[in-house]
Amino acid sequence: MITLSRLLLFAALNAILGHSIALDLDDYSKANNQSLLWAPYRSNCYFGLRPRYVNDEPFVLGAMWFNSINAQGLAKVRHFVEQGDKLDKYGWIWYDPRIGGRETIRDSESNLQLNFTFVKSHSGENWAVQVEGDLIDKNKEAAHSIVIYMKQNGKEDSSCYLNQNDIFTKNRNELSFTGFSNELKGYTIKLADENSKFYKDAVPPLSPDCDPSKPTVLSMNIPDDQLWKAKDVFQSLLKDSIQAHVETNPQLSANLIPSALTIRNIHNFPPGNVQYIQQTFEGHFKFNIIFNKKGSKDQIAENSVDHLIVLAEGLVQQKFNKKFGIADNSLYRDFAQETFSNLLGGLSYFHGTHLVDRETAFDNENFDRIELLNSNEEGPLELFSMVPSRAFFPRGFYWDEGFHLLQLLDYDSDLVFEVLHSWFNLIDKDGWIPREVILGDEARSKVPEEFRVQNPNIANPPTLLLAFSEILSRAKTIQEEMLESHLQENYQYEELDSSFQGDKLNNNPELLISYAKEIYPKLLKHYEWFRNSQKGMLEEYMEVPSINSKVHMEEAYRWIGRTFTHCLPSGMDDYPRAIPPDIAELHVDALTWVGVMTRSMKQIASVIDLVEEIKRFATIEENIVENLKTLHWDDDQKLFCDITFNDDANTDEALRKFVCHEGYVSLLPFAVKLIPHTDVERLKHILDSMSNTTTLLSPYGIRSLSKTDEYYDTGEVYWRGPIWLNINYLCLDALEYYFLESPLKKSEGQNEELFLQARTLYKQLRQNIIDNVYKIWKKDGYVYEQYNHKNGKGSGVQHFTGWTALVVNMIGKLPEEL
């Protein structure tokens, strides 16, 4: 608890520093917004660019490509990231949203090696994209059509525009455009090729307006909310054009196909705010797209793009090296940077309405799947978030995002704050945050219809508060260190500047603490919503003697929305639960996550010095820890288990039936550090469980479900055996907490064997995970959603650079030799 003397010291420090917190927050926000304004925030596209927090009239850019050497190329236009495209590889090899990055794509079917390199000016107002490509197989002919589309959004009666300028240069392969929006103001865009080899056949093109040997521009209008269909529009226009060609030239020869697959204004559209630019190449090509805001002091010159790229790559490498400390000669160095870059490459900005059903009532006794048929559009809302997978899950996931942020804490704490701030803004008047945030038609187009509608009865593991409490705890520690440094006259306050690199909160913790005070009422509402909405029926068990005398009545929970076969709200979809389901069942992981949430709220209250709230949360946390033992610990199996009501019981004690499935659910109270250090007996049983190769421990990580469980490797085999890195990471973190940094180290020698076992498991588990994920990446070029529990192969969604990127933290966090 903070003392009066320390409060006075903090007050004195603030007075000495002479800074207004409100002003600092404004300056912080301005600087952060500037450095994060532009980036490839349309991560569902192979390359898609838009500004953050510019919603009414944003400028939007996207890229497409296909091989137009034959007619089949039109059906294989690449635009949105799709697993079905079966590219050899795609992804960022270095990237930071504040600086820039390079995405490399290898598409053997199109015979194309393609790079997109994105960089920004120092102010963050201006940017450039360099597009470079070449044949993979020089012996195969190709006509690579690269299509860039750009749109200046804005209502028809607005002053927004995006127009092609007249060309006054002798270089026919240079295009320039002028645009304006009320939010972005005036800007120019230039596309310039650098000695690219355009496609040119020996025969003349079908018509002058579809000549593949030079850039082609088509201007038209597309409604703002339909731009995500840019590929469909492009293909439709080409089909109409081809049909017209065929009508006048029925015997279309093969060498004229690239000409036929060049876009033209077949319908005589008037110029509009969408510009399609198609360029077709037959060999190596390289061109730059340069955006400059009018009046900006650091506009990007055409001849400076290569230099900017070199500088940006150097900055990204330096930042990565500084934050993770992975040696340049490490076996894992390139793997780690690429994997982490792809986590950052999933950073997205969404804006639009979402579908919510607030009318459908949940029948707590019916465990059939609930149809959410009374949805309404709500919003518009906005979300700044990473995504688990650009191909398969390009949207915000509440339970995934906390793990994403834990990865970022040491790399860019300011970015963690920006994402958390965006998520917390979604808390509605009742305290609810959707488990999936799907904003607008572009995001909805990638989601199966049955999953698009959200319901405020359904929760998800509250990992966001886990991340927020961690960043606040660090801020408090830094603040106290600053106080000590100031008192010793060694402290210097760091001013905000334009070289914003993501560590301002570390140097100015009062900013974060001030925000915590501001957001606390909303977080409290969210906390209470979670506890109330997932409350379990403990009354059914009050006749059980071992429960009745010890239990805390308010702290029992279950996941609302569970069905006979799945418990989607828990995040572990098909992990086995009670069969048959029962209205009175209680879930150990639901109680555990409320414990995590309570501990986080206690830490937040501590940081902002709410003394009575600290006491209240501490009491609730203690009650939850005791209930974990009283309700959910099975002394026979030595596991934490779900419980259900036993209608066939012949004694009062037997009214509680343990539903034990050894695996991630049984390990969770340990993994999130809710077991007291003093509970050595239970810690030993859990350590034995994790170390057992006949049940949970595999050569590739800890299995999600024990090999001896009746449901192991059955059904969908999703959370019934495969290895997931998020839970393995938590287990490693907990091993370090309990046994490598534990106060128990100083206890009697009776625990020596226990610590030796823990250290051995830690080293073995960590190395097994790193080696396997690296081996699969080396072979396939990707990391995966999960890893096979029998052979270690990648399974589930390919290129799942959400929480699987936690492997980088495992590599970078090298403890001293154990």
Helices marked H in 332-412 — which ranges?
333-345, 398-408
Inter-axis angle of helices 664-671 and 680-691, to 10 degrees?
130
Q: How far, in Å, CA of 462 to CA of 399, rounded?
A: 6
3-state secondary structure of 548: helix
Phi, psi at 461, each rounded to 5°: -55, 130
Looking at the DSSP assignment, which residues form a beta bridge with residue 335? none
Count of CA atoms in the C-beta half-sphere (13 A) of 257: 17
State how beta strands 794-798 and 784-787 pair. antiparallel
Q: What angle do CA 290, 296, 299 make, to 5 degrees?
A: 35
Q: Hey, what's the torsion of the CAs at 633, 637, 639, 640, to 10 degrees?
A: -40
What residue type is assigned to position 486 of the chain? Answer: H
Dump the DSSP string for 147-199. Answer: EEEEEE---TTSS-EEEEPPP-SS-TTEEEEEEEETTTEEEEEEEEESS--B-
Are the C-beta atoms of residues 403 and 388 closer than 8 Å to each other?
Answer: no
Cβ contacts of residue 650 below 8 Å, gap of 6+?
A: none
Q: Which of 409, 167, 148 is CA-nearest to residue 280?
A: 148
Active site residue 771: no
What residue type is assigned to position 409 of the chain? Answer: L
**127-135, strands of its sheet edge to edge:** 89-96, 100-107, 112-120, 127-135, 285-293, 185-193, 174-181, 161-164
3-state secondary structure of 355: strand
Residue 672 CA to its chain's centroid (Å): 21
DSSP run (H or E) holding 7? helix 4-17
Q: Which of 687, 686, 705, 683 is CA-nearest to residue 696?
A: 705
Please give the C-alpha separations between residue 758 and each of 295, 510, 806, in angstroms, as whole numbers: 61, 38, 21
Structure tokens at 414: 């300011």
Please give the C-alpha separations between residue 279 and each of 345, 515, 574, in angstroms, as whole numbers: 26, 49, 48
Q: What angle do CA 308, 313, 315 make, to 5 degrees?
A: 95
Looking at the DSSP assignment, which residues form a beta bridge with residue 604? none
Are the C-beta atoms of residues 789 and 807 closer than 8 Å to each other?
Answer: no
**Whether residue 521 has a cis bond before it, omega within 30° of 0:** no
Cβ neighbour number for residue 776 with a 10 Å cutoff: 20
Q: How far, in Å, CA of 530 to CA of 540, rounded?
A: 21
Looking at the DSSP assignment, which residues form a beta bridge with residue 105? 90, 114
Active site residue 441: no
Q: Which of 81, 75, 76 is CA-nearest to residue 62?
A: 81
DSSP run (H or E) holding 102? strand 100-107
Dihedral of CA 718/721/723/728: which sign?
Answer: positive
Q: Which of 573, 613, 634, 771 is catalytic?
A: 573
Q: How far, in Å, CA of 55 to CA of 39, rounded?
A: 15
Q: How far, in Å, CA of 79 to CA of 5, rounded?
A: 61
Q: How far, in Å, CA of 631 to CA of 658, rounded?
A: 9
* Residues designated catalytic: 573, 785
